Amino acid sequence: VATVAFPGTLLSTPSHYAVFLHGDTPLTAKLLKATLVDPVSAAVIETKPRPWYATALLLSQPLHFGDYGGLPLKILWALLDLVTLVVLWSGLVLWWRKHRHAAAVPANVAHAATTARGGA
C-alpha cells in the first residue's frame, strides 16, 4: 500500500476509501494502482486499469530524475546534453554570421552603385 485516501478527500469519493497500491518489483514499484474500498465491509468496489499515458508518465519519472541506471546513465545524459549544446551553439553562430553578412552586402552594393555613377 502506497497511500490511503479517506472518504471525502480529493483523491476518493464521499463514501469510499481510495487505496493506492504499488508493486514489489523495481518496474512495478513505480506504477500506482487505484482501488476503491467500501469502508463498512472492506470489500473492493472498483479497480480500473491505468491509462497508457499514465503508465508512460509513471515509468519515465525515474528516467527524468536519474533513478535508473545509476552513474553510467547519468554520464550518457551528460554527453547527450553536451551534444545538444554544441548543436545549439553552432546554429546560433551560423545564424549570426548569416545576418552579419546579409547586413554588410547591401552596404557594399550601395557603395558600388554610387561609385559607378561617379559619386563619392
pLDDT one-digit tens code per residue, 46-82: 888 888 998 888 888 777 776 667 788 788 889 999 9
SS3 content of the chain, % helix, strand, coil (to 5): 55, 15, 30
DSSP structural state of residue 68? S
The model's pTM is 0.50
Largest CA distance in the chain: 102
- CA dist 106 → 37, 70, 100, 115 (Å): 76, 55, 11, 14
